[in-house]
A and B are shown apart, each in its own frame.
Chain A
């Protein structure tokens, strides 16, 4: 059974940093591109970032480029999102998801981790 479990969310002040993690199981992690998607309270889904299967290539939404960094550890079946220079508008539930043949869609999602940016 495919499982994705996020962790690392919490309350942080504007300008602060967090490292979100997504632990994967139930599939060959190193075969898949992985994604982060966020959802602000009461709002819609917004794609944030992806990383390819071996970690050699990453892509970001314009709104987070330069502040967020995605990475992965295939030996640990885990990938990460380092979120820096956080803004109030980054407050959201952050979901990790598995890509379908790269970036053709997202077939499995975690339950999400809440990041709250507030002073």
Chain B
């Protein structure tokens, strides 16, 4: 049950696009299309942004998109806005009714 690997930080200017990676193994990210992404602002609970690799819950702007290739999933935020500044976490189903999270990425809007 090793954590998924995310870069500790990412940044971009307003209006730009930024992509955050999430690398797992052939036992989790590479095996299941059950990767989710969560946004967490300081002192707040996480909020689901993407599930099942690329699906957006209602209410999540279409500026947020997800994809996967092999053992690596990605979250892309297009048209960066100030309110996108937050911590982002990926998670994946890891088999045997277990989930695993990434270590988190702090997104800074410059």
Seen from chain A, the residues whose Cβ lies within 8 Å of a Cβ on chain B are 35, 37, 44-47, 50, 52, 57, 59, 61-62, 95, 100, 102-112
Q: Which residue of B lies closest to A96 (CB)?
A: B45
- A100 CA to B93 CA, complexed, in Å: 11
B104 & A104 in contact (Cβ 8 Å cutoff):
no
Of residues B3, B91, B102, B104, which shows the largest number of chain A Cβ atoms within 10 Å of its Cβ? Answer: B91
A59 & B52 in contact (Cβ 8 Å cutoff):
no
B99 & A50 in contact (Cβ 8 Å cutoff):
yes
Residues of A contacting B100 with CB < 8 Å?
47
**B10 → A minimal CB distance (Å):** 15
Q: Which residue of B lies closest to A61 (CB)?
A: B1
Residues of A contacting B103 with CB < 8 Å?
44
Residues of B contacting A112 with CB < 8 Å?
45
B46 & A47 in contact (Cβ 8 Å cutoff):
no
Seen from chain B, the residues whose Cβ lies within 8 Å of a Cβ on chain A are 1, 3, 34, 36, 38, 40, 45-48, 51-52, 57, 89, 91, 93, 96-104
B48 & A106 in contact (Cβ 8 Å cutoff):
yes
Residues of B contacting A52 with CB < 8 Å?
97
Q: Which residue of A lies closest to B35 (CB)?
A: A105
Q: Which residue of A lies closest to B37 (CB)?
A: A105
Residues of B contacting A62 with CB < 8 Å?
1
A103 & B3 in contact (Cβ 8 Å cutoff):
no
B51 & A45 in contact (Cβ 8 Å cutoff):
no
Q: Other CB < 8 Å A-B pairs besides A100-B52, A109-B47, 5 of them?
A: A50-B98, A106-B99, A107-B51, A108-B48, A111-B45
Q: Which residue of A lies closest to B97 (CB)?
A: A59
Residues of A contacting B91 with CB < 8 Å?
45, 47, 105-106
- A105 CA to B100 CA, complexed, in Å: 10
